[in-house]
Amino acid sequence: MNNKVKRPRLYIFKSNKHLYAHIIDDDKKQIITSSSTTSRELNNKYRVFRNSTTAKAIGKSIALKLKKMGIKQIIFDRGRNIYHGQIKILADAARAEGIIF
């Protein structure tokens, strides 16, 4: 009997200039929603592409999108990035909005 709870995965990717956060449904193998420094809602507000301020804004943005979809629990996937700096700030911003992981 498999009692494993299916939760979407928050995948974080950092390039040299940008920071991306994708919510992925692994069962359907598709991206549900995403937020990044290239997103329209954040691109107009911030001129610096990847720093702690934009990481916090991305974390808050992705958390608000999840709450609108009714998702409260996720799996956090930081990829090959260490849990430090921008990754930690993004995660803390999402947790501050009530997302559990």
> Does 1 have pLDDT greater than 50?
no
Tell me the average pLDDT across 30-53: 88
Residue boundaries of the structural domains of the chain: 9-96
What CATH number has the domain spanning 9-96?
A: 3.30.420.100
| Residue 29 φ/ψ region, left for φ over 0, alpha for ψ in the -120 to 50 degree band, beta for the rest | left
For helices 52-69 and 86-96, the axis angle rounded to 10 degrees is 40
> Does 43 have pLDDT greater than 60?
yes
> Does 16 have pLDDT greater than 80?
yes
Tell me the average pLDDT across 26-35: 95
Contacts of 49 (CB under 8 A, 6+ apart): 17, 18, 19, 37
**What integer pLDDT is reported at residue 44 of this predicted model?**
78
